[in-house]
Amino acid sequence: MKRILIVATGGTIASTQDGHGLAPSVTGRELAEQVPLIAELCELDFVQPMNIDSTNMRPRDWLRLAALVDEAWDDYDGFVVLHGTDTMAYTAAALSYLVQGSEKPIVLTGSQQPMASPFTDAKLNLYQSVLYACDDGSRDVSVVFGGKAIAGTRAHKQRTMSFNAFTSTNYPSLAYIRNDRIVRAAGLGRLAPEAPRERPKFFGRLDGRVIVLKLTPGLAPGVLELLKRDYDALVVETFGIGGIPAYGGVWERAIFDWVGGGRTLVVTTQVPEEGLDLGVYEVGRPYANHPGILRGGDMTTEALVAKTMWVLGQTRDPDEVARLFYRPVNFDRSEG
């Protein structure tokens, strides 16, 4: 029987009402006791590195989770991280970069309703996450939620209340889970039966000085000057397929000044589906091949934030930054 480590971090799944709103208070072991069927799937151990609302999750917590998996790697066949939904996509992406090439599954899940709610989705999500973590075909970092398994770099929280909260952005779901049956999508994410389960590459550094800027009509580019003191990298969510306002060249000058000062700039789109192409319109072309500007392609904003933090945690050499950024990790991008 396989051994699975449940890593409980808090979130809605662990929350109770304390008179001031929902707050995490239930332990991972107590949550598992509410789903006794999972004890028939595998041997379970529990660890509780934190018990927080995922709104309070920070890059230092991602590093803590990766270090925990590293320390426990040899003792377990898989890991299930219980996590709040609000920043789950960021954590799943971050763990994809901090634990690369994991041939054991690292599954994140949570719920839209607390475990104690009479209408909770927590029980099925927890059961299916453990089921997926026990399956021989599972590997790497994924989100299992609402009957789907999603690559950790492709998850995006699309709905605030519905049980199908997460979508797989610009990439197929890895699998669908129907009660206790896993239906994989054309073998995506599957480990070949004869492949050895080698130790993944763990990383222990991130640069948390990364910020996202969403363009809005009329936004003044002087905001970039204000950000220089506190941030090393900027992820710009452009209009449409890659439009940045001209405004007489003021945005172009501000962006070129940002990268000319040695800072990193990543360009993506605020449109959720289908990705970026800076070469289509005149308002995007000046940035398409400019040195120091990285193109986000069809990656999610969550993955772009986490990957930029990871890349800058490893190097500041511009050529190496670009090489690491464009190297696909856990299905995070469809183009070079």
Is 85 an annotated catalytic residue? yes
CATH class for the region spanning 210-326: alpha beta
Is 301 an annotated catalytic residue? no
Question: 117: exposed, middle or buried (C-beta count within 10 Å: 0-12, 13-18, 19+)?
Answer: middle
Q: Is the pLDDT of residue 326 over 50?
A: yes
pLDDT in tens, 94-150: 999 999 999 999 999 999 999 989 999 999 999 999 999 999 999 999 999 999 999
Domain 3-202 has CATH 3.40.50.720: no
When comparing pLDDT for 177 and 23, which is higher?
177
Distance, CA of 95 to chain centre = 7
Contact call for residues 92 and 152 (beta carbons, < 8 A): yes
Contact call for residues 211 and 264 (beta carbons, < 8 A): no
End-to-end CA gap in the chain: 41
pLDDT in tens, 232-256: 999 999 999 999 999 989 999 999 9
CATH 3.40.50.40 in the chain, residue ranges? 210-326
Contact call for residues 111 and 24 (beta carbons, < 8 A): no
The residue from 9, 27, 55, 85 that is catalytic is 85
d(CA 236, CA 98): 23
Residues of the chain above pLDDT 70, percent: 96
CATH 3.40.50.1170 in the chain, residue ranges? 3-202
Q: What is the pLDDT of residue 15?
A: 86
Q: What is the pLDDT of residue 194?
A: 45
